[in-house]
Amino acid sequence: MKEINAMGHACPRPVIMTKKAIVEENLNEVLVRVNNEIATENLSKMGEQLGFTPSVNKVSNTEYEVSLVRQAGACELMDMEEDNDEFIVVFSSNELGVGEESFSKTLLNGFVYALTEQDRVPKYVVCYNKGVEITTINEKTVQDLKVLEQKGTEILSCGLCLENYGLKEKLSVGTVTNMYRICELQLKYKTVKPC
């Protein structure tokens, strides 16, 4: 049984670490150590989606063990949800959802990181309005977007938006585009718009 120590890691990292190990090593049994109950729920859901039976053991208030055992007859390859449609991801904000500002920014960082760990990456990531901050002054998202770029994703930021927020000289990943091109891409491709 493979053991994964995800103690101290906030979601989605425990799920990403576990899925990556299962796929790359073709594992049948995994024991994941985490320090919060939300991670146990997310790991259990992911395990069920991949054909594993989950069980959770609460060691203490700050330590949990999630055991995942592959069900008999479950597929060894993890392409159950494979879909060959190309898609784009559009960011119009520097926050994910509506809520407390710093938490919403943390959620956005987590979403961009999780995007780098998906089996399929977007054809384009398009940023406009305050979304251009993720290609300029947000160091965490800039690094993750560079990973996506290496995987073949084209990163585009609205030039007018960069100018409006005084960020044109700070563009750190991708290239400048215009609203006509942004409109064209959203009409052509399936669009994921998390914010």
Residue range(s) of every CATH 3.40.1260.10 domain in the chain: 87-192
Token pair listed for 133: 């901050």
Buried-exposed string 111-144: b where 16+ CB fall within 10 A, e elsewhere = bbbebbbeeebbbbbbbbbbbbbbbbebeebbeb
Token pair listed for 6: 């995800």
Q: pLDDT at residue 172 above 90?
A: yes
In tens, the pLDDT along 52-61 reads: 999 999 999 9
Residue range(s) of every CATH 3.30.110.40 domain in the chain: 2-70
Token pair listed for 4: 């994964």
Torsion angles phi and psi, residue 93, rounded to 5: -145, 165
Give the pLDDT confidence score for residue 73 in this predicted structure. 63
Architecture of domain 87-192: 3-Layer(aba) Sandwich (3.40)
Cα distance between residue 157 and residue 173, in whole Å? 9
Cα distance between residue 175 and residue 126, in whole Å? 10
In tens, the pLDDT along 75-102 reads: 554 444 444 589 999 999 999 988 899 9
The CA–CA distances, whole Å, from 11 to 15, 107, 108, 190 equal: 7, 10, 12, 26
Q: pLDDT at residue 158 above 80?
A: yes
The CA–CA distances, whole Å, from 29 to 58, 120, 140 equal: 18, 25, 32
Give the pLDDT confidence score for residue 74 in this predicted structure. 54
Task: Please state which CATH number belongs to domain 2-70.
Answer: 3.30.110.40
89 HSE (CA, 13 A, CB side): 22
Q: Residues 29, 66: contact at Cβ < 8 Å?
A: no
- Model's pTM, two decimal places? 0.69
In tens, the pLDDT along 88-146 reads: 999 999 999 888 999 999 999 999 999 999 989 999 999 999 999 999 999 999 999 99
